[in-house]
Amino acid sequence: MELSLKLLALAGAATADGGALVRSHLRLLLGEVAPFDAGEILLRQEGGLQRWSLEQGEEGPIAAEDLLDHVRSLGTPLRLDTLEEAGAFPTTRAQMTTRGLSSLLALPLGGGAGPEGILLRSTPSSPWPRWRASPSSTPSP
């Protein structure tokens, strides 16, 4: 199915179910590009983070504010292939370890005012094509 039809299907999934059908369609679309084991959407809102899982049986958070704030400030995707690369994000690293995840891809989400959140895809191993973020993409510990 071509991209425009996939996006129409995603938009058509918006119902009064709290976004469950949209998240389900999003998981399928992203899984076609690269399989992943866990996913979530994080948005910063007044009063803290709003989190939506892309999983049926959520097992807990993947990322924390340390990673969210960094990806929002970059405005570009961030890929971590190992837990060692997540060292600059200690809370996120601890949550990934708890979930048994060792890699993730964080995609910024936002409107005209800039990124407001991130979309996360995470796996125990790293099946994505190899590419590296620029050295300035990861903060110093």
Per-residue pLDDT tens digits for 92-105:
999 999 989 988 88
Task: Say what the pLDDT of residue 96 is.
Answer: 92
pLDDT at 66 over 60: yes
- Report if pTM > 0.75: no
**Which residues are CB-neighbours of 42 under 8 A, at least 6 positions away?**
49, 50, 51, 63, 68, 117, 118, 120
- Taking alpha carbons only, the member of 38, 49, 57, 44 closest to residue 100 is 38
Distance CA(99)–CA(93), nearest Å, equals 10
User: Higher confidence at residue 123 or residue 63?
Assistant: 63
Q: How far apart are the first and last CA of the chain?
A: 43
Which comes out higher in pLDDT, residue 21 or 123? Answer: 21
Mean pLDDT of the chain: 76
What is the CATH T-level fold of the domain 36-134, as seen in this structure? Beta-Lactamase (3.30.450)
